[in-house]
Chain A
Amino acid sequence: MEVDIEVHPEGAAYERTLEDVNSVINHAKLSRADLKSTSQVLYFSSDFPNYKLLECDQTILQHLTAGQELYIRGRPSDRAVVCTKDNTFDLREAETSNSLLLVPGLKMVDELDLVNNENSAEGRIEKKSIVGVYHEYFELKKVRPLLNRLRIMLMSKPYSGPENENTNQEGENGQNRDDLKTYSFEELLEEVQASEKELTGFLKELEAVEIDGKWRILDHEYQFRALSFLLNFVDEQSWPPDAIPIGETTSTLKGLLPDSILYHILQVYLVETENESDDSDLLFELNENKICRFLGEALLRPVDKFNLHDFLQAWESSVPSGLETNLKQLDGLALHDTKTNPPVIWYFPESKLSEDIAERIAQLFAERRQWTFDEIEPYIAPLTTEKQTVNALLTKHARSSNIGGQKLYSARHGK
C-alpha cells in the first residue's frame, strides 16, 4: 500500500495554513466539530540526521534513564554486543516493511487535552517535523558471552614465576614486550565481549590472578609447584585437612612464593572454617574438590590413555591424606570407559571444545557415540542460558533412545 504525497507547486516554501486544513476537512466530509481543535501538520524536516533506533526493554530503559551507560564492545570484525555492567546482549538489526516516521514532539490525544480547550470550534495548527523515515531498528537479545577468546588471551603468556618475567626487555616503543601479551581488566574488557560482572566471573572460573595490574593464569607446572609447597607444608605439620592455621601457613610460605601468587593459591585451594586454633589463628580446610581435580588433571594431561585402575591408584596416592578422590571431581575434564578391557580413562577437557552448540555436539558424538545424561551434562552445561537448559539443548541437538532401561543420547543424524 502506498500513499502519495501531493506536491504543492511551491514545494519547500509551502506553509500550511489553518484555512488549508479546514478546507481539506470539508473535502473529506469530516466535521470540524468531530475533531479535536488541534491539528498537527506534518512536514519532512529539511535534513534527516542519521539517527539509530534502539529497541529497549524496561530494564534497559530504566538503566539509561537512570543515567547509566551502555557499552558496545568487540573488535571491528565481531558481531556487535551491548553490555550493561552486569549483562551482555546481542545487537542485531531488524527490518520492517512499514515506514516509521520519527516525529519529535508528536502529541498523543491525551497530551492535547492537557493544554487546550480541545472542543472549541476554532481549530488551530501545530507544525511538526518528520526527522526521518525508518525501516530498520536495532534489537537486543540477552546472550551468554563467549569465554574462549579470554582463555586464548590469557594463555598467550601464562605466569610461571618471577624469574621468567622479562622485565628488562624493551620493545619498540619502550614498552615491555610482555606488556603486549598481558592485559589489565580494562584492556580485557576492550577485547572480550562481556560485561564487567561476567568478566569478573570468568576470571574467577579460570582461576586467573592479578599480578602487577595484569590478569594472568598460572602455567600448569608452576601452579603444581605452588600448590605442592602448600600441601607439603600441611603434610609436614601433620595437620588434619580441615584445621590449617592460616597465619602460620602464610608466614611460612611467604619466602617461597611472591605474595600475589601465595594469596591466590591460598584463596583457590583453601576454604575458611568457623574455627580457630588454640592461639586464635583462623583455621582453613583444604578444598577437596579443587585439589583432587587439579592433581587428577596433572596425571591425565600428559598421557593419551590411562588404565583406569592404575590411574585411580596413582591419583589416590597423589592427594593429601584425608582427601578422597571421586571420578565426579573430573567432570568436564576426563572421560572413562569401563566396557573396554582393561577399563580406560582419558583427558577430554570441556575447555578445548567449540563454544558453538552445534559444533560442540558434533565434537562430542565424534568422541563417543552414546552418552548418558550424567556423562554429557558437564560438557553442555557451560553453554546453557536462562532459557536453554541442558535438557532443552539436548532435545534440540541430539537424539535420545532408551537402551536396556537407560536413556542414551546420540547424534541426530547418526547411523
Chain B
Amino acid sequence: MTIIVKMDDGGAEPWGIVELQGDLESREGHGSLQSKFVGDLHYTTQGGIPTLIIGHHILYGKAVNMEKPYAVLEKQTSDTDNGVQRVKYVVKAFVKKKLIFKVRPKPIIANVPN
C-alpha cells in the first residue's frame, strides 16, 4: 500500500510554534482547552525578545530558525471508484521558525492599588 504525501493545492502557509517547557494546564483542572484565551505575546523593542504573559507569569524566550523545519500534514480520505477509502496527507504548512521559552516563568506580583 502506498500513501502519498504532497503539497496542498493552495501551497503551504508559513506557521509558527511556541515551545514551552512542561504542560499548559487550565486552572479548571482537566477541562477542555478549546477556545480558551492563553496569553499575550510581545516582542521587546530592544533586541526583539519574545515575551509571553500567561496568567500571572511572564516568560522570556528566543526565536529559533529550525535547522529541520516541520511540515504540517493533514490526513485526507477520499473514496475511490471501487468504494475503497484512499488516504493521503497534504502539507498544509511549514514551520521554519519557533519561539522557545525555556527559562522558568517569573510570577507577576500584582500591585494594584486598593
Contacts and interface: CB of A to CB of B under 8 A. Distances in A.
A98 B68 contact: no
Contact of A69 (B6, B14, B46, B69): B6
A96 B71 CA distance: 17
A108 B51 contact: no
Given A36-B43, A108-B63, A3 B72 contact: no
Contacts of A60: 71
A60 B70 CA distance: 10
B38 A109 contact: no
A16 B21 contact: no
Interface string A121-145: 0000100101001000100000000
Contacts of B21: 1, 97-99
Nearest to B106: A28
Contacts, number: 250
A36 B44 contact: yes
Contacts of A34: 44-46
B86 interface: no
A5 B55 contact: yes
B106 to A, nearest CB: 9
Q: What is the interface residue range for chain B against chain A?
A: 35 or more
User: Which of A8, A43, A101 is most buried by chain B, counting CB atoms within 10 A of its CB?
Assistant: A101
A214 B24 CA distance: 56
B40 A109 contact: no
A393 to B, nearest CB: 27
Interface SS of chain B:
strand
A190 B1 contact: yes
Contacts of B78: none
Interface residues on A, range: 35 or more
B24 A3 contact: yes
Interface in A33-83: 33-36, 38-57, 60-61, 64-65, 67-76, 82
A108 B97 contact: yes
A6 B54 CA distance: 8
A33, A55, A76: most-surrounded residue (chain B CB, <10 A):
A55
B1 A102 contact: no
Nearest to B20: A99
A112 interface: yes
B55 A4 contact: yes
A130 B18 contact: yes
Q: 6 closest Cβ contacts across the A-B interface? A: A106-B16, A109-B48, A70-B5, A12-B35, A6-B55, A72-B3
